Amino acid sequence: MSRLRASLTPYLLLFPGGLWLAIFFVIPTVVMLSLSLQSGDVVNGYVFTFNWHSYVDGITTYHDQIVRSVVYGTISTVIQIVIGFPVAYWIAFKGGNRKSIYLFLLLLPFLVSFVLRTISWQFFLSDNGMLLGPLKSLGLVPEDFHILATSAAVIGGLAYNFLPFMILPIYVALERIDPRVLEAAQDLYASKTQIFLRIVLPLSLPGVFAGVLMTFVPATSDYVNASVLGGTGNTMIGNVIQNQFLINQDYPTASALSFTLMALLLVGIFVYAKALGTEDVLEVAAR
C-alpha cells in the first residue's frame, strides 16, 4: 500500500500543474489549431475544412508585419542586453548591502500597469512635451522633429517595458558567481578584462539566455507599444491578430497568424538555444 502510494506520489504532485496546463494551454492550442483550419463567417458559422488558405493568405498579406515584429523584437532585445547587463553587473558587484534597495528601485516603476507606463511615455515624448518642447524652444532640434509615431519610439517602448525581465536573470546569474573564483583569477595575474571575458561573461551567459527568452518572445508579439507609441507603418503582427479576432471576427486568419508567429518564435528559440544553449554555456563555464 505504502509502496503504491510512493509510486503514485510524483503523479499526484504533477496533477495540479498538469491539469492547469491541459485546461489553459493544451486545449486552447488545439482549439486554435482547429480554428485556423476552419472556414466560414460569423453569421453562417465556421466549419472545419482543412482550409490552409488562412495560413497562405495571412502570411502573404501580413509578411511585412511579421518581419517587422521580429526585427523590432530583436533590436529591442539587443538594446536591453546593452542597457541591462551593466546595470545587473553594477548591482551584483558594486551594490554592496544596498542590493535589495537597488533591485526594488529598479522594479518600482514596473508596479504600475504596463499600459499606463506606455501611455506616460506618450506624454513624455509628445511633439511639444516635456522632452521635445524645451529642446525645440532652444532650437536644438528642428520644429517638425518628432519621436512618437516612428519605429524608434516603438522599439524604445519595447526595450523599456521588458527591461526588468532582462536585468533580473542576468543579475541572478552574476550574483551566483563565487567571489573566490574571481580572487583566484586575480591571484593568477589575470587582468580585469581577462577576468570579465574569461570568467564573468561566460558564467553570466545562462542569465542572458534566460533574459533573451523572457524579453524577445513578448516583445515580438506585443501590440501595446505599436498602438500607443507607433504611427503609420509601425503595425506589428500582434496588432493584426487582435484586429482579426476582435474587429473582423475572422477567427481562422487570426488563429493561423498566431500559429505562424508561434512557430516562428519556436524555431528562432530553438536555433538560438542550439547556438547558445544552456549546455554549451555550461561547457564554456567549465573550461
Partner 1 sequence: MNVPFRQDPALLRGMTQRRLGRRDAFRLAGLSAAGLALAACGVQGKGTAKPSTSAQAQSEVEKFWSGKAKNGHVDFANWPYYMDPKQPELKQFTQQTGITVNYKEVILEMPSWFAKIQPQLAAGQSIGYDLMVVTNGLHFDQLVQLGFLAPLDHSKLPNFAANAAEQYKNESFDPGNVYSIPWASGMTGIAYNPKYVDTPPTSIAELWNPKYKGKVGMMSDSQEIANFGLFAVGVDPDTSTEADWEKAAAKLKEQRDGGIVRKYYDQAYMDPLAKGDIWLTMAWSGDVFQKNISDGTDLKFVVPQEGGTIWTDNMTIPKTAANPVDAIMLMDFFYDVNIAARLAEYINYVTPVPAAKDVIVADAAKASGDDKKLLEEVASSPLVFPTPEDTARLRSYVKFKTPQEQKKFESIFQAITTS
Q: Identify the three-state secondary structure at position 47.
A: strand
| 78, 95, 218, 243: which one binds partner 1 (CB under 8 A) | 243
Q: Which stretch binds partner 1 (CB under 8 A): 3-11, 60-68, 74-82, 273-281?
A: 60-68
Please tell me the distance from the alpha carbon of residue 15 to that of residue 22, in angstroms, as a whole number: 10
- Binding string, 162-191, against partner 1, x = CB under 8 A? ------------------------------
Q: Does residue 51 bind partner 1 (CB under 8 A)?
A: no
Q: Does residue 61 bind partner 1 (CB under 8 A)?
A: yes
CA angle at 79 for the pair 106 and 137, rounded to the nearest 5°: 85
Strand-strand pairing, 45-48 and 38-41: antiparallel
CA angle at 254 for the pair 248 and 256, rounded to the nearest 5°: 145
Q: Does residue 286 bind partner 1 (CB under 8 A)?
A: no
Q: Using alpha carbons, list the distances in angstroms from residue 242 to 53, 183, 209, 247, 251.
A: 19, 53, 29, 8, 10
- Output phi, psi for 142, to 5 deg: -65, 155
CA angle at 28 for the pair 26 and 31, rounded to the nearest 5°: 110
Report the interhelical angle of 99-107 vs 151-175 (nearest 10°): 150
Shortest distance (Å) from residue 284 CB to partner 1:
39
Q: Does residue 146 bind partner 1 (CB under 8 A)?
A: yes
**Of 35 and 265, CB closest to partner 1:** 35
Q: Which stretch binds partner 1 (CB under 8 A): 39-47, 96-104, 155-163, 206-214?
A: 39-47
Of 199, 156, 163, 161, the residue nearest 81 (C-alpha) = 163
Shortest distance (Å) from residue 174 CB to partner 1:
32
Q: Does residue 32 bind partner 1 (CB under 8 A)?
A: yes
Q: Which stretch binds partner 1 (CB under 8 A): 44-52, 156-164, 198-206, 210-218?
A: 44-52
Q: Does residue 222 bind partner 1 (CB under 8 A)?
A: no
Shortest distance (Å) from residue 79 CB to partner 1:
23
**Of 148 and 281, CB closest to partner 1:** 148
For the chain, the farthest-separated pair of C-alpha atoms sits apart, in whole angstroms, at: 83
Residue 174 in grid coordinates: 552574476
Q: How far is CA 250 from the centre of its chain?
A: 27
- Binding string, 103-142, against partner 1, x = CB under 8 A? ------------x----------xxxx-------------
End-to-end CA distance of the chain: 49
Given the rule CB under 8 A, which residues bind partner 1? Answer: 27-28, 31-32, 35, 40-46, 61, 64-65, 115, 126-129, 144, 146, 148-149, 224, 227-228, 230-233, 235, 239-240, 242-243, 245-251, 254-255
